Structures are given as structure tokens and as C-alpha cells.
């Protein structure tokens, strides 16, 4: 299926010069995650059933990948780290293999050239493992060590000899997020191989070998996936497609929740992702993207992986007809699935109720002192003189006095002013308020939950939580670990409200992971404040109590400079003066 040789291993040989010339030039190794990808793919090719990855300093200090695959004979260790030497010459011959499978014999050499690398391997039949140590591409030592059959590659101090490239690395926690993401892609491309990830902090992720795609996808996309997904299966002249996709209710704000692979290798293929999305038709609203896993099995000679240095992108000989087949397969599968799943759809999503029996009692904290906790709900915004039922907004700095008339569709507020009507966007208004509070050095109000809410995070989400701990806290969420993989939410942003806190945290982590969508405002600090404010603000669709609306309007009135737009440039108010109303109603004198 993958075309990779399994047991009957070929010796490592050098590629012919004319083959080397066809290799896409560029850096194979850009960061720890790309090294991990190459090393795990090598373990896949060696027929490993279980692979473990160990990081130190997010992989910048050290990466170790150990597998239980076929191993490398001692006489070939040096050749393995040489450029353009490979054992993976499929029956097609070297040139075709390069194009279709991407075996260029380049990765180990590329990693060894920019690190201190140890390659230790025990092939089946040998009773000891032998190894070499390579510093900046030069073999400096040979050694032998006990080891179970298989191969270990240790990469220390990536880019130690190329400071310019080392400078481009992000902080260790951010690099670690990239590694987790890469492992998720690798795992979902071959869920039959078990993957584990650990760091100096202990185990970060464990992806056991999964017989069913749904089960594997659930480990990455969240525990609700299996019962909220539908299978996709079709085959045709160009190959076969097998997948598990989330029902439309699971769709995400970007395409990053869709994992595509071709012949067992994760790929980035915009056209294929679009085909999957098109298969959903209008079941997906604008700006929502499918989540799930799609595997394509295509005759290797019909795939060209040699269009990108890291083999992330592929070119298919019959791209158009493969895309059409994928679209049709998704569309057909969804039609059946929607009928089947109708009753479940309403309950999709992470539970924000208490834990379901299996988790320890979270009520314990609530008994402590619910009143004291409730009283601890802070508000940074000053309380205006809102008399009983009074929703009038005090005039400030020449503002017309606003009288709240009511909300419209959980999106807008309508208020009357002295000379007409004012329409207010609830998200933009509260976002602006929080943004200005942050820019003035203030902290955002949070409200403590009387009962903490249980939260389960995937390994990817946990890594994001670590990497973005400051932003999460600044937004007003308080999340603490509560057992292996389990967390609980103790507090939420006060404007955002108490509903569905677990979903809110997951959504926030997803957006942080995607680096925020905002291109405005300019400046790092401003963008950071804007993104925190955006997450803490009242959302479009939130039902807001009148008292809170009045509070927002009052606070807005007090802001210096009377801002008219949110940090991303969308308007906060639309003013309809009396004169305009008069013209509409054909009153003379307007």
C-alpha cells in the first residue's frame, strides 16, 4: 500500500548522479519538528510497530527517536548518514522511487550535518547494537551497546554549528507544540503504529496502535469524535480513499483539523482539502472547515513527492479525477451519516457539565465557601449609578445619553439617544472596552465558577496550554491540572460568561495554536492585547443580561477618545440621527 519495503531489506546504496539532480533543492530540516518527522518516517519505513520520541528543551536541546524496526547492519551505518544513500529502492528502480516515494537518502545526512548525532542500531539476528557518533557531519566514533532489536537516533543541539538557523527557532515550548502537531499528523497517517512522546516533564502523549480510524482520530481531535463522525470509503481507477470525518457540527474555524495522507505519508494538499470540504456542500456554513482523517492510496508511480524539499506537498498524475472522487465519496458518505446521526447531533461537543462519574468529585471545592467565592468575583469596570431598573447611560464628555431599548438576535443592542437611534455590536463594543483596559495596564475581570468544570485535553491542546499559559490567564481563564490528561476550569472571563467553559477553553487553545487570525492592529503588544480582548469579550450569539449591557455602555461612554471601532477596525456603533428617521418616514422639515 505504501510501497515501502518491509522485511526483505535492501542494502544501502548511493543514488546515481542523474537521480540526485532531480531532487527538490532546499532545507529538509528547519526545526525540531521536521527532524522528528524524518526520523519517525524512517522508523515507519523500517516496519516499526512502536516508536518513542523523547525531547529535551522542546527538541532544541535533544531529540531521541527509538523504534523496533528492521535495524541497520553495522557495515552500513556510515553510509546511512551519507548524502543520497538509501536502501529504499523499490522494484521500480531508483529514479521512479525518488519521484513517487521520496526516498532520497538525504534526511539523516542533513540532520547529522547540523547536530551531534548518534545512530545506534541492532538488526534482527545480531546480538548487540552498534553505533556511530557524528559531529557536524563527521563520524568521530564507533561503539557497541546493548539494545533490543531496532534503531535509536539521538540528535543533540540542533543547529549548534549554524547559529543563524538556530536563531530562527522559537522558544522550546513553541517548538514542542510543533513536534506534537507533527506527531499527530504522522500518527493519523499510520494509526496502526504506536507512538509515544515524552519530555523532561514526563509523558506528553501516547497514541496506541488503533485498529479503527475513528478511534485514532479521537485521540487527536477529542474524545467526542468517534460518535460524532462518519466513515468514508470508496475506490476507483486511481486508487482508494478511506476516511473518518466529523459531522458538520464538529467543523472548525480553519482547515487545520483535517489530516490528509497519501500512501501512509502525511501531506499538505490544498486541493484535496478543498475537495473534502466541497463534499460537505452547504452542510458547512462559510468559514467552517471539516475535521477528520482522509487516507488516499494511490499507485506510487502516479504520485510525485519530489516537488517540495520536505515532501509535504505532492503532485498527483490525475489530480482532477482524484479530487472529484474524494468529493463524491465524502458527499455520499455524509448523506447516509446525517440521517443516522440526527438524534446525536444536538449533544455533540465536550461536556461542560460536571465529570461523568469517572472523574474525581469536583464539587469538593464548591463546598468550601460558595458565598466567599461568589463574592470574590471581581470587576475591574467601575459600577455606574445604575438605579433599580435604570438602564439609562450617563452622558459623558458630551455623549448623547443612551437609553437601552433591547438586544437584537444576540448580536446587536439598540439604544435611543437624544437625537435618534444607536445600534451597537455587542462583540465589538465589549472587545474595545477590554482592549483599552489592557492597553491602560489593567487586568481583565474574571469570574470564579462556584463549581469547577472538568476538562479533558488532547496532547496537542495540552502543549498549547503550556506554550500560551500567559495569554490564557490574561484572558481570564483559570485552568489547573487535575490528574493525567485531566484539567478543571476554575474561572472564566467575566464578559464571556459562564456557559460552556470547557468548550470555551478548547476553542481558545485552538485559536492560540493557529496563531490568531488578526492582522490588525499593528505592533506585537497591540496584537497581543487585541487577541486577549477578543477571547475575553462577549461573543456574537451570547445572550447578555440587560444589567451587563448597561454596564458595557456606561464603561464605553467613559473611555477617553470615544473609540468608534474595535481593535480590528470593525465599527462599534452605527448612529441613526432623528433627521435620517424623518427622511425615511417622509416627514417634512427633515
Q: Is the dihedral of CA 215, 217, 223, 229 positive or negative?
A: negative
Please tell me whether residue 131 binds ligand ADP under the rule CB under 6 A: no
Tell me the C-alpha to C-alpha distance, in Å, between residue 173 and each of 443, 468, 540: 25, 9, 32
Picked from ligand ADP, Mg ion, none, the partner binding residue 501 (CB below 5 to 8 A depending on kind) is none
> What is the size of the binding site for ligand ADP (CB under 6 A)?
22
Interface pick for ligand ADP out of 4, 12, 247, 509 (rule CB under 6 A): 12
Member of 12, 15, 23, 42 binding Mg ion (CB under 5 A):
42
Query: CB of 105: closest distance to ligand ADP in angstroms?
Result: 4
Shortest distance, position 475 Cβ to ligand ADP, whole Å:
42
Identify the sign of the CA torsion 557, 561, 563, 564.
Answer: positive
**Using CB under 6 A as the criterion, what x/- string covers residues 271-310 for binding ligand ADP?**
----------------------------------------
Report residue 22 as a C-alpha cell. 532531480
Can you tell me which of 67, 133, 178, 551 binds ligand ADP, judged by CB under 6 A? 67
Specify the pairing of strand 13-14 against strand 129-135.
Answer: unpaired
- Residue 108 or 213 with smaller CB distance to ligand ADP: 108
Residue 88's binding partner among ligand ADP, Mg ion, none (Cβ under 5 to 8 angstroms by kind) is ligand ADP
DSSP conformation letters of 563-582: --B-TTS-BSEEEEEHHHHH
Q: Using the rule CB under 6 A, is 431 a contact of ligand ADP? A: no
DSSP 289: B
Quick one: 130 or 471, whose CB is closer to ligand ADP? 130
Cβ atoms of residues 398 and 513 within 8 Å = no
- From CA 423, how far away is CA 163, in angstroms rounded? 55
269 counts as binding ligand ADP under rule CB under 6 A = no
Residue 86 in the binding site for ligand ADP (CB under 6 A): yes
73 binds ligand ADP (CB under 6 A): no
Three-state SS for 469?
helix
Among 33, 43, 393, 533, binds ligand ADP (CB under 6 A): 43
Residue 3 touching ligand ADP (CB under 6 A) = no
CA-CA distance, 435 to 554, in Å (whole number)?
16
Per 3-state DSSP, the chain is made up of helix, strand and coil in percentages (nearest 5) of: 35, 25, 40
Report cis status (omega within 30 of 0) of the bond before 578: no
Residue 107 or residue 273: which is nearer to Mg ion going by CB? 107
Q: Which does 70 bind (CB under 5 to 8 A by kind): Mg ion, ligand ADP, none?
A: ligand ADP
Of the candidates 142, 143, 144, 151, the one whose C-alpha atom is nearest the C-alpha of residue 122 is 151
Which of 306, 252, 277, 265 minimizes the C-alpha distance to 99?
Answer: 306
When asked if residue 430 is in the footprint of ligand ADP (CB under 6 A), the reply is: no
The length of the chain in residues reads 590
Selected range binding Mg ion among 34-42, 118-126, 235-243, 279-287, rule: CB under 5 A: 34-42
DSSP 246: E
Q: Which stretch binds ligand ADP (CB under 6 A): 85-93, 176-184, 496-504, 563-571?
A: 85-93
Query: For residues 25 and 81, what is the distance between their CA atoms, to the nearest angstrom?
Result: 18
Site residues (CB under 6 A) for ligand ADP?
Answer: 12, 38, 42-43, 46, 67, 69-72, 80, 86-88, 103-109, 151
- Site for Mg ion, rule CB under 5 A: 42, 107
Amino acid at each position: 500500500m505504501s510501497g515501502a519495503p518491509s522485511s526483505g531489506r535492501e542494502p544501502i546504496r548511493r543514488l546515481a548522479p542523474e537521480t540526485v539532480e532531480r531532487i527538490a533543492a532546499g532545507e529538509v530540516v528547519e526545526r525540531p519538528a521536521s527532524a522528528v518527522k524524518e526520523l519517525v518516517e524512517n522508523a515507519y519505513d523500517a516496519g516499526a510497530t512502536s516508536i518513542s520520541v523523547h525531547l529535551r528543551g522542546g527538541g532544541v536541546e535533544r531529540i531521541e527517536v527509538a523504534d523496533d524496526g528492521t535495524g541497520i547492519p553495522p557495515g552500513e551505518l556510515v553510509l546511512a548518514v551519507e548524502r543520497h544513500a538509501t536502501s529504499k529502492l523499490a522494484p521500480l528502480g531508483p529514479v521512479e522511487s525518488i519521484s513517487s516515494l521520496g526516498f532520497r537518502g538525504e534526511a539523516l545526512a542533513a540532520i547529522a550535518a547540523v547536530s551531534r548525532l548518534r545512530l545506534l542500531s541492532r538488526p534482527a539476528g545480531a546480538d548487540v547494537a552498534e553505533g556511530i557518533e557524528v559531529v557536524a557531519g563527521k563520524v568521530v566514533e564507533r561503539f557497541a551497546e546493548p539494545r533490543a532489536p531496532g534503531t535509536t537516533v539521538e540528535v543533540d543541539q540542533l543547529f549548534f554549528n549554524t547559529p543563524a538557523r538556530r536563531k530562527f527557532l522559537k522558544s522550546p515550548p513553541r517548538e514542542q507544540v510543533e513536534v506534537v502537531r507533527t506527531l499527530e499528523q504522522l500518527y493519523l497517517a499510520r494509526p496502526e503504529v504506536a507512538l509515544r512522546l515524552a519530555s523532561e516533564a514526563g509523558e506528553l502523549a501516547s497514541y496506541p496502535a488503533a485498529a479503527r480510524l475513528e478511534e485514532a482520530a479521537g485521540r487527536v481531535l477529542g474524545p467526542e469524535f468517534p460518535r460524532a463522525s462518519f466513515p468514508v470509503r470508496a475506490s476507483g481507477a486511481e486508487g482508494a480513499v478511506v476516511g473518518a470525518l466529523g459531522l458538520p457540527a464538529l467543523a472548525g474555524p480553519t482547515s487545520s483539523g483535517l489530516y490528509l495522507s497519501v500512501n501512509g505519508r502525511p501531506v499538505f494538499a490544498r486541493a484535496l482539502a478543498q475537495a473534502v470540504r466541497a463534499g460537505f456542500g452547504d452542510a458547512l456554513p462559510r468559514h467552517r472547515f471539516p475535521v477528520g482523517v482522509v487516507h488516499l492510496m494511490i499507485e506510487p508511480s502516479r504520485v510525485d513527492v519530489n516537488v517540495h524539499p520536505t515532501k509535504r506537498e505532492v503532485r498527483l498524475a490525475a489530480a482532477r479525477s482524484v479530487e472529484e472522487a474524494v468529493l463524491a465519496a465524502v458527499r455520499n458518505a455524509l448523506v447516509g451519516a446525517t440521517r443516522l446521526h440526527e438524534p446525536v447531533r444536538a449533544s455533540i461537543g465536550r461536556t461542560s457539565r460536571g465529570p461523568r462519574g469517572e472523574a474525581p468529585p469536583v464539587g469538593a471545592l464548591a463546598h468550601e465557601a460558595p458565598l466567599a467565592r461568589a463574592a470574590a468575583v471581581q470587576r475591574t469596570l467601575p459600577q455606574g449609578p445604575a438605579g433599580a431598573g435604570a438602564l439609562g447611560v450617563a452622558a459623558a464628555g458630551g455623549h448623547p445619553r443612551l437609553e437601552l431599548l433591547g438586544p437584537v438576535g444576540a448580536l446587536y443592542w439598540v439604544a435611543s439617544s437624544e437625537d435618534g437611534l444607536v445600534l451597537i455590536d455587542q462583540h465589538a463594543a465589549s472587545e474595545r472596552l477590554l482592549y483599552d483596559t489592557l492597553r491602560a495596564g489593567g487586568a481583565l475581570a474574571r469570574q470564579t465558577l462556584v463549581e469547577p468544570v472538568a476538562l479533558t485535553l488532547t496532547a496537542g491542546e495540552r502543549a498549547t496550554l503550556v506554550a500560551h499559559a500567559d495569554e490564557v490567564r490574561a484572558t481570564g481563564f483559570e485552568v489547573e491540572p487535575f490528574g493525567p490528561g485531566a484539567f478543571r476550569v476554575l474561572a472564566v472571563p467575566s464578559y464571556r460568561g459562564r456557559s460552556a467553559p470547557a468548550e470555551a477553553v478548547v476553542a481558545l487553545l485552538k485559536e492560540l495554536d493557529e496563531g490568531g487570525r488578526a492582522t490588525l492592529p499593528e505592533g506585537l503588544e497591540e496584537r497581543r492585547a487585541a487577541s486577549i480582548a477578543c477571547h475575553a469579550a462577549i461573543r456574537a450569539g451570547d445572550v447578555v443580561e440587560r444589567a451587563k449591557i448597561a454596564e458595557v455602555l456606561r464603561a464605553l461612554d467613559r473611555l477617553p477618545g470615544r473609540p468608534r471601532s474595535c481593535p480590528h477596525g470593525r465599527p462599534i456603533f452605527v448612529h441613526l440621527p432623528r433627521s435620517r428617521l424623518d427622511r425615511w418616514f417622509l416627514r417634512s422639515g427633515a
